[in-house]
Amino acid sequence: MAHTLLVAALAPAAQAAQNTSSNPVIAIGAFLLMLALLVIVHELGHFLTAIWMGIKVEEFGIGYPPRALVMFERGGVKYTLNWLPLGGFVRFANDSEGQDSLYGAGGSLAAAPPWRKILVMVAGPLMNLVLAMFIFAVIFMIQGVPTPTGGQDIGAVFPDTPAAAAGFQAGDELIRLDGKELSDSSLIPATAQASGGRALEAVVLRDGQEITLQVTPGPWTGPDGTSFKLGFGFSYSQHIVREPVNPAVAVVSGVTESLNLTGQMLKSLASLPASIAGIFSSTPSPAGEPIGPVGIARATGEVIQQPGGFLAFWNLTAILSLNLFLLNLLPIPALDGSHIIFAVVEMLRGGKKVPPEKEALVHALGFAALMGLMLLITVNDVINAIQGTPVLGN
């Protein structure tokens, strides 16, 4: 059985959203649309490749069992909706028995050669990668390709900080600090550290006009409790302008953006254990916390009701699709990556299979552990929702 795990770690890639109240009906509706698209695309990869390889499929499921209903049945395949909105699955012939089907030795996934198993398992995550590339390409055709400029956008100015005292405002574009052009975000903390606590001249662009402010870096404490000895007290990100491009450039940019974000997510995997541990800790992980379906639904509500929320929704969908591509390739029991590992082991052993009962036990234990982790993440998502903590930041 091939599974899709719907969980995300958005910190490496998602832009912070404005903290606006979201309509739960809109959030749930948008989330269900996103869930259906991501899961159907992923499972179609498994399904179509299996059919191409002559492997019998018995069920195409959205959500995890228990089963809610059979939507329809065609060609011997049941298309079902299931009660747990954590992902989806494709159930192959005789997966539960580990035997050949009536279709012969090539009819069941268990009996298929290792290279066929690998192709079937890889196809699901690859479809999510292709979906993300397609979505980004369409967004770039509509909006243009984001291009960084020399300024830094001020996202939030925290109270009782040097930035607040100096008169910085959310929405300012910081274009010069201590006479330096700010082409690199790292120049801001570096300039604060090098100041020695002296007053600095900051030039911001506000409503199309340049305004000069005097700011003295000093100690301040962030909203997450992190203390800084010398800093300003505002959040910031690279100022981006969107340049119109032709469709060919948009497609290339969609591929490049997807690969770049995937690289960022790969680098962030090292912090995933700390992110999970942060759920148990009173001190949040700097990398943020992983979110499950409840958190994803809230994130969807946060972005879709902002100005430009329609395209922001599709941007978030693309990022989540990349999450699915990457996370489902990890060698986690019960996910695609684990099935790929077993197929590679079988190939290296000259076609000698790992005993089916042992492989089934590994996947069963892994699936139970995943459901436990998903329960924990969901409880954390619900607590954050009750406390009103925004998913994508302030």
What's the average model confidence in pLDDT over 41-67?
90
| 130's tokens | 């292709």
Q: What's the pLDDT at 115?
A: 92
Contact 288, 391 (CB under 8 A): no
- Measured from the Cβ of residue 84, the count of other Cβ atoms closer than 10 Å reads 14
Contact 238, 216 (CB under 8 A): no
Residue 94 pLDDT class (50, 70, 90 cuts): low
Contact 230, 197 (CB under 8 A): yes
Share of the chain above pLDDT 90, in %: 35
- Measured from the Cβ of residue 188, the count of other Cβ atoms closer than 10 Å reads 20
Average pLDDT, the chain: 82
Tell me how far apart the alpha carbons of residues 146 and 312 are, in angstroms, rounded to a whole number: 14
DSSP string, 30-78: HHHHHHHHHHHHHHHHHHHHHHHTT--EEEEEEEEEEEEEEEEEETTEE
- Measured from the Cβ of residue 280, the count of other Cβ atoms closer than 10 Å reads 8
Tell me how far apart the alpha carbons of residues 43 and 125 are, in angstroms, rounded to a whole number: 9
Sheet of 57-74: strand order equals: 2-5, 77-92, 57-74
What's the average model confidence in pLDDT over 146-160?
87
The C-alpha angle with vertex 171 and arms to 321 and 202, in degrees rounded to 5, equals: 120
Q: What's the pLDDT at 3?
A: 57
Virtual CA dihedral for 159, 283, 262, 131, nearest 10 degrees? -80
Mention every residue, 6+ apart, whose C-beta is less than 8 A from residue 164: 157, 158, 233
Sketch out the chain's domains with CATH numbers.
2-144+254-387 (no CATH), 146-243 (2.30.42.10)
What's the average model confidence in pLDDT over 226-245?
87
Residue 139 pLDDT class (50, 70, 90 cuts): very high
Q: What's the pLDDT at 105?
A: 39
